[in-house]
């Protein structure tokens, strides 16, 4: 456990130290939200807003994840010799989950500020966001590990992660649409359970399969 | 050494030819229930549904061999895992084409937002990604290990999705047998269709294995020649 915490701390320090990365992500988030605001002007259809929002979340997550890993292979090699792969991936999942959650919260706030959903059930929407982004982050962490081992970088990561993201996103979209169009929210439990199940499944797969990527 | 195994036996290939000949002849000529909307398109059951069965079967074989590879890195397991997933992809495409044609004449559209279609789309996209991933790497052992990891990941995600999604509210499928539409077993009161459907499933499964076995044996020879 201490090792896990130590890795998380280390990652956090690294992230905070590199201002460039933080600024890049914030700028990316702000500008993509603003572009979608320009595109959505005059459109009051909550379904369209919802679709655009989730698209933004995917692209921002991709950008943020690949940014936080890029150019650090030599450091990784150093960590390989110190901790077991299981602990390493655990720390990675927790850190990356928290990181993407804060980025997507920022995106949500920006989106509310510029575009704005009309009649939002905030609690339900944030639940959907939390569960989905957690799943996305684990999935992207794993995809990025696979892609970087495959020597493909960002393009390969996008190719192999998009199909796997679909289940999460379809469920998230159904759930968040309930939250934004002001209709009744009966039956949301099923979607929440589905998202939880997907998250658990992805985390378990990462934990089980990561050691095989690690071995070289 | 190239192994002699069940792939080089021919009895099951004759069985496959017999079953499929029967499927095509009986499938087009045997009586089917006369129904509104469906009419003669109900015969697609003998082709379309079997494609998906074959795909799921062969992709499961691929999964098993990926797991076995991770357990014990044996080159032959990688050959089987990769070649079976390519065949699964091919059968998936056939399933999509037969389904799409059918949907055009019964539902009126080539593609609909149906849980089963979404599942199929995910399956095909992730296995295309598998092909891309394999081609991105040159080192054989690394390629085998990493693609095995991805194969397991993709398969489990796909199955989870296919199991969870249809249970959710408001996502009823338009497919016969789902969402209040009667399945073929409700129409097939005199079991005429079963007499063709079951042999058809066996025939297509055997064909799927046959194609896979040819692929696997070719790949084995290729690797064998490379290593010399």
| Distance, CA of A190 to CA of A93 (rounded, Å) | 25
What's the gap in Å between the CA of B89 and the closest CA on chain A?
A: 14
Measure CB to CB from residue A150 to each of B137, B152, B170 and give the nearest one.
Answer: B137
CB contact set of A41 (below 8 Å; sequence gap of 6+): none
| B164/A167 touch (CB, cutoff 8 Å), yes or no | yes
| B125/A197 touch (CB, cutoff 8 Å), yes or no | no
Q: Per the structure, how many domains does chain B have?
A: 1
B206 close to A (CB below 8 A): no
Percent of chain A with pLDDT over 90: 24
State yes or no: pLDDT of A182 exceeds 70.
no
State yes or no: pLDDT of B168 exceeds 70.
no
Q: What is the DSSP-derived secondary structure letter of residue A42?
A: T
| A190/B169 touch (CB, cutoff 8 Å), yes or no | yes
User: What ipTM does this complex have?
Assistant: 0.85
**A13 or A152, which is more confident?**
A13
The reported pTM is 0.87
Q: What residue of A is the nearest CA neighbor of B71?
A: A212
| Interface residues on A facing B, Cβ-Cβ cutoff 8 A | 142, 146-147, 149-152, 156, 159-160, 162-164, 166-167, 170-171, 174, 187, 190-191, 194, 197-198, 201-202, 205, 209, 212-213, 215
B1 inside domain: no
The confidence score (pLDDT) of residue A69 equals: 64
- pLDDT for B54-73, tens place per residue? 999 999 999 999 999 999 99
The confidence score (pLDDT) of residue B167 equals: 65
- pLDDT for A63-108, tens place per residue? 888 776 665 666 666 777 777 888 888 888 898 899 899 999 999 9
Measure CB to CB from residue A159 to each of B132, B142, B165 and give the nearest one.
Answer: B132
| B133/A171 touch (CB, cutoff 8 Å), yes or no | no
**Whole domain around residue B137: which residue ranges?**
6-227
CB contact set of A144 (below 8 Å; sequence gap of 6+): A65, A66, A69, A157
B136 close to A (CB below 8 A): yes
| B133/A162 touch (CB, cutoff 8 Å), yes or no | no
Percent of chain B with pLDDT over 90: 46
State yes or no: pLDDT of A189 exceeds 70.
yes
> How many C-beta atoms lie closer than 10 Å to residue A176's C-beta?
26
Measure CB to CB from residue A213 to each of B133, B149, B156 and give the nearest one.
Answer: B149
| A163/B125 touch (CB, cutoff 8 Å), yes or no | yes
Measure CB to CB from residue B122 to each of A150, A167, A194 and give the nearest one.
Answer: A167
| Distance, CA of B58 to CA of B66 (rounded, Å) | 12
- pLDDT for A107-130, tens place per residue? 999 988 888 776 778 888 898 999
State yes or no: pLDDT of B46 exceeds 60.
yes
pLDDT class of B171 with cuts at 50, 70, 90: low
> How many C-beta atoms lie closer than 10 Å to residue B21's C-beta?
11
| B153/A205 touch (CB, cutoff 8 Å), yes or no | yes
C-alpha torsion angle, residues A69, A89, A105, A110 (rounded to 10): 20
B196 inside domain: yes
| Distance, CA of A204 to CA of B92 (rounded, Å) | 28
**B126 or B117, which is more confident?**
B126
Measure CB to CB from residue B153 to each of A150, A171, A209 and give the nearest one.
Answer: A209
B160 close to A (CB below 8 A): yes
The confidence score (pLDDT) of residue A147 equals: 86
The distance from CA B25 to its chain's CA centroid, rounded to whole angstroms, is 22
Average pLDDT over residues B123-147: 90
The full length of chain B comes to: 228
């Amino acid at each position: 456990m201490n090792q896990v915490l130590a890795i998380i701390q280390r990652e956090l320090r690294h992230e905070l130290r590199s201002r460039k990365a933080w600024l890049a992500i914030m700028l990316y988030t702000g500008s993509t939200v603003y572009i979608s605001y320009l595109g959505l002007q005059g459109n009051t259809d909550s379904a369209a807003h919802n679709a655009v929002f989730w698209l933004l979340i995917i692209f921002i997550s991709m950008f943020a994840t690949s940014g936080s890993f890029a150019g650090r292979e030599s450091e990784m090699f150093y960590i390989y010799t110190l901790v077991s792969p299981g602990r390493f991936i655990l720390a990675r999942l927790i850190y990356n989950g928290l990181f993407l959650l804060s980025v997507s919260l920022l995106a949500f706030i920006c989106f509310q500020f510029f575009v704005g959903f009309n009649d939002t059930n905030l609690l339900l929407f944030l639940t959907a966001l939390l569960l989905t982004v957690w799943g996305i982050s684990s999935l992207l962490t794993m995809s990025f590990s696979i892609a970087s081992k495959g020597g493909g970088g960002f393009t390969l990561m996008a190719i192999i992660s998009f199909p796997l993201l679909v289940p999460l996103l379809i469920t998230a979209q159904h759930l968040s649409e309930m939250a934004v169009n002001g209709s009744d929210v009966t039956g949301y439990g099923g979607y929440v359970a589905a998202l939880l199940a997907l998250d658990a499944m992805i985390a378990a797969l990462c934990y089980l399969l990561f050691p095989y990527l690690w071995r070289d | 050494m190239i192994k002699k195994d069940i792939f080089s036996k021919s009895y099951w290939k004759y069985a496959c030819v017999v079953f499929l000949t029967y499927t095509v002849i009986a499938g087009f000529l045997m009586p089917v229930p006369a129904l509104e909307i469906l009419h003669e398109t109900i015969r697609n059951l003998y082709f379309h549904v079997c494609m998906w069965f074959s795909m799921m079967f062969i992709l499961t074989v691929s999964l098993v061999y990926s797991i076995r590879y991770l357990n014990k890195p044996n080159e032959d397991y990688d050959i089987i895992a990769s070649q079976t997933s390519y065949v699964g992809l091919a059968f998936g495409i056939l399933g999509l084409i037969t389904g799409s044609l059918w949907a055009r004449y019964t539902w009126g559209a080539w593609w609909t937002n149906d849980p089963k279609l979404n599942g199929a789309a995910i399956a095909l996209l992730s296995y295309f990604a598998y092909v891309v991933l394999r081609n991105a790497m040159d080192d054989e052992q690394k390629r085998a290990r990493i693609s095995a990891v991805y194969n397991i990941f993709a398969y489990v995600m796909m199955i989870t999705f296919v199991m969870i999604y249809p249970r959710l509210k408001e996502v009823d499928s338009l497919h016969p047998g789902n969402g209040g539409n009667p399945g073929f077993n409700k129409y097939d009161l005199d079991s005429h269709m079963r007499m063709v459907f079951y042999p058809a499933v066996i025939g297509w499964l055997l064909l799927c294995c046959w194609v896979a076995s040819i692929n696997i044996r070719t790949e084995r020879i290729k690797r064998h020649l490379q290593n010399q």
